[in-house]
Amino acid sequence: MKKKNLGLNTVCTHVGEIEDKQFKGAVSPIYLSSSYQFMDVDVKRYPRYFNTPNQEYLSKKIAALEFTESAMIFGSGMAAISHMFLAFLKAGDHIVVQNTIYGGTTNFIREEFPKLNIEFTFTNGYSIEDFEAAIQLNTKLIHIETPSNPLLTVTDIKAIAKLGKDKGILTSIDNTFASPVNQNPALLGIDLIMHSATKYFGGHSDICAGAVAGSDVHMERIWNVSKNLGGSLSDFTVWMLERSMKTMGLRVKAQSKNALKLAKWLNKLEAVKHVYYPGLKSHPEHQLAKKQMKGFGGMLSFELKDNLNPEAFQKALKLIKPSMSLAGVESTVLSPSQTSHSLLTASQRKALGIHDGLIRFSVGIENVKDLKADIKQALKHIK
Ligand SMILES: *Cc1c(COP(=O)(O)O)cnc(C)c1O
């Protein structure tokens, strides 16, 4: 079968399967060996070399989904991002980072890079001019996140890729929020695509994992660093991830459809001050999102009117649980100021536009009518 001609759900279901030649079972076997023979073999396998059979084969599925030559799976999204950054940055190098990104990535850069003498600049905004202005002679990497956490800003992927190519600088993206179902940055020219596989890849709130996809040459460079840092994933979890990814196309499409409906509905509610969702016509980058995304994703954020207490609202929800993390089949909400962005100061948060009342909504696969009813009863409860 030629990978290129397969549809999304077929890739999710079949690419990277390990054939069970011995018993002809329907699904990939789990290979748990941490010791493999070294004589008369093509590959010297070892879990921390990221090349056990389950790791090697699931990587093919991820590469196929992101239209890259190669991919690697890591123990977490932060392992993926840190191994990727450290493979391309050394002392004296500089990275340009989008200002509105995942809080954990910001913390990693701010806390670890000074110890390693790696220079960094967070952009003032997410326009091309903002990125261009931050570039220095020693810039080696430009890192973006779109749609971003938690305000769902949209960065022009193609323009960033072109900027990188023109200046001879590599580009990387955190593609977690969109997932490969809604956005394929490699097709727009981005070099390195990173995911927290804890989110849509896993999709059931029971796995912590990460992934990076890119060219063979770039992935080999990451592998050379990763084998030293050792952030590989256990084969049990790799297998769980394979099972989860079979339904990723179905799940993410259902979540994106639900999110669009809910964003439009919330936008009309008296109690809601503002909705952040790239699928809304009122979103400042709606046209750009339409151009570079296939769907607008399952994440949205909103602010309640000032007289309504966001904490009381979240507590009053019955079906939708206030929970950390995102992208499970079950809907969840959280306050970024109390969780993902709690380590930033109040003024840093304000500068990013993250108000204390902001509620991030990870839309699940439940029936929209039930989600609406839950929100309605919670609003009534706090009035
Ligand atoms: C969760 C998340 C990460 C970090 O992933 P972990 O699996 O928690 O390490 C990175 N980027 C984004 C956008 C995320 O949502």
CATH 3.90.1150.10 placement within the chain: 249-382
CATH for 3-245, among 3.40.50.1000, 3.30.360.10, 3.40.640.10, 2.60.40.1120? 3.40.640.10
pLDDT at position 3 is: 54
Nearest to 251 by CA among 336, 148, 326, 146: 326
Q: What is the pLDDT of residues 300-334, one digit of tens each?
A: 999 999 889 999 999 999 999 999 889 999 999 99
Q: Measure the CA–CA gap between 353 and 299, rounded to whole angstroms.
A: 17
Nearest to 276 by CA among 168, 353, 205: 353
Annotated active-site residue 102? The verdict is yes
Decide if 83 contacts 74 (C-beta within 8 A).
Answer: yes
Q: What is the pLDDT of residues 363-381, one digit of tens each?
A: 999 999 999 999 999 999 9
Q: Which atom from ligand 1 is nearest to the alpha carbon of 208?
A: 7
299-304: strand order across its sheet: 272-276, 299-304, 358-362, 332-334, 321-322
Tell me the mean pLDDT per 10 residues along the chain, length 383: 78 97 97 96 96 98 98 98 98 96 92 98 96 98 96 97 98 98 98 98 97 98 97 97 98 98 97 97 97 98 93 96 94 88 82 87 98 97 90
Beta carbons within 10 angstroms of residue 195's beta carbon: 30
Residue among 174, 276, 277, 349 flagged as catalytic: 174
CATH 3.40.640.10 placement within the chain: 3-245
Annotated active-site residue 174? The verdict is yes
pLDDT at position 4 is: 63
Q: Whose CA is nearest to atom 8 of ligand 1?
A: 77
Tokens of 23: 């018993």
Tokens of 330: 């079950």
pLDDT at position 350 is: 84
CATH class of 249-382: alpha beta
Q: Measure the CA–CA gap between 301 and 287, rounded to whole angstroms.
A: 19
Orientation of helix 103-112 relative to helix 77-88, angle to 10°: 40
Annotated active-site residue 40? The verdict is no
